[in-house]
Amino acid sequence: MKKYLLLLGMFFSIAVFAADKGTWTGYISDAHCGAKGNNDGHAACAKKCVKEGYAPVFVIGDKVYTISDPKKVSKYIGDKVTITGTITGDAIDIEKISK
């Protein structure tokens, strides 16, 4: 029984820390508006909110990801972009970004 509990515990540990590498297309929005920034018409608002101090975020559909290095997206605020990187939990680490 202890072996099964140990294996089960290891499985959940691996699942929690699993990272997803890939390429995704979405919008660079702001933490204030979040998923509302999932469209071209939100660009001016996203720029305003980021300028006011809200963190930039990456939005894919209704899912909002924090950005590990916000400087990498500073010139893409409000834009639809394609990001290559790693998603871990609710955060994305960007390797490459393009419009």
Q: DSSP of 40-68, one letter per residue?
A: GGGHHHHHHHHHTTPPEEEEETTEEEEES
Domains of the chain: which residue ranges?
19-98
Mean of all residue pLDDT scores within the chain: 89
Give first-to-last CA distance, the chain, whole Å: 53
At 11, the pLDDT band (50, 70, 90 cuts) reads: low
pTM: 0.81
83: pLDDT strictly greater than 50: yes
| pLDDT tens digits for range 35-74 | 999 999 999 999 999 999 999 999 999 999 999 999 999 9
The tokens of 30 are what?
A: 């702001």
